[in-house]
Amino acid sequence: MFNSALKADDKPIAKNSAAKLPLTAFDATQDSTRASNWQEYNVDRIELHRKMNHDNARQTINVPDIDGLKTLKCDFHIHTVFSDGDVWPTVRVKEAWQEGLDAIAITDHTSEAPSKKNIIGGPNASYEIAKPEAEELGIMLIHSTEISRDKEKGGHLNAIFITDAVPLLNENTALALKEATKQGAFIIWNHPGWDIDTCKMFKANEKFIADGNINAVEVFNEAEWYPRALRWTKQYHIAAVATSDIHGLVKNQYHTERGVNRPMTLVFAKDKTPESLKEALFAHQTLAYFDNSLAGDNTLLAKFMKASLKIEKISANDKRTSYLISNISDISYQLTLENGSDVLFPSNAGVVYQVQKGTSSIKANVRNLHTDEFKSLNIEIELK
């Protein structure tokens, strides 16, 4: 079939011979016409990697920086085959890079490892395997583990920024947490409403918080939102985080290929380093980001939203002034104004907003920015 396309003075190339055209001749990014006309060439191996492979495509998560701080996109709760997850540790790093994250913590369980009979590796194996890939891709990989106990004994707790998971195998939760704290860990109470259909503050958790052995709580985990846990962040002065707790493939759970962001914690740090990240976590400079919503501290929420909006005056007359309000973030802000009407500032888009002449600000409640249990942010946005 191929020979019929040869010109009279062309010499056919023998099948399976070493005389093959350079594979780049079929790179669609360089020569789409030649790549589509394969019948012009007598070859038996055609490379399409560059055309079909999207490993080098990184999603952009549009979130603003605030107060001169870098907004780091982080997932502090993920699993691999070294506990009860489905994937190899390097896959978690590649997913994080492709989906636009800055930092991840692989938190394989210290006690639950159903794959142990088939996979050899100790409590630090997933971190050690993933670390070279993370360094190559520029992802901050935080050495971590999940301490898993019954609810009454503290529940599930992620210790991140550890140095060695082995000493945390201690069955006594208090001693395991004490060791984690000794290693400098930041400790997160995971999914406080999971498995009991309610959020309950157990005596053990209250004591761990009082002793400084719990520093944060998940207000969102996988697909569960815990408004009561957000109340605890105010009451007990701990940080709010959101995590995927992913066990399978992230894109299957959250359809990230369609532009849907996985749950994550936004951390406002001095720079993109593990040291700054850890410092910011202990300073509670976090917002939980999930399902087109943010949850956390009032002041951070207000600063974040205002940094997301670019306001430009475009026209004015005797009765009205018109502004172009552009939202540069991935979050569509859902507002209820003082008069009870609803307004949407859609993500990565601009809207024309008209006010009566002399109006200098927008006062509203932002329904998808959560400040407390069943409370959302009241904000005043100045018009310039």
Write the pLDDT tens digit of every residue in 219-234.
999 999 999 999 999 9
Q: Average pLDDT in the 356-378 region? A: 97
Specify the pTM.
Answer: 0.87
The separation between CA 241 and the C-alpha centre of its own chain, rounded to angstroms, equals 11
Whether the per-residue pLDDT at 217 is higher than 70: the answer is yes
Would you say 151 and 195 are in contact if contact means Cβ atoms under 8 Å apart?
yes
CA distance 235 to 232: 5
Taking the domains of the chain in order of start, what are their residue ranges?
A: 3-52, 70-296, 307-382
307-382 maps to which CATH number? Answer: 2.60.40
Around Cβ 46, how many Cβ atoms within 10 Å? 13
Q: Could you read off the pLDDT of 116-140 as tens digits, one per residue? A: 667 788 899 999 999 999 999 999 9
- Per-residue pLDDT at 23: 42
CA distance 362 to 333: 13
- Per-residue pLDDT at 151: 86
The conformational region for residue 245 under phi > 0 = left, psi -120 to 50 = alpha, else beta, is left
CA distance 163 to 183: 6
The answer for residues whose C-beta is within 8 angstroms of residue 13's C-beta and 6 or more apart is 19, 20, 42, 43
CA distance 32 to 14: 25
Whether the per-residue pLDDT at 179 is higher than 90: the answer is yes
The CATH class that applies to domain 70-296 reads alpha beta
Mean pLDDT, the chain, integer: 88
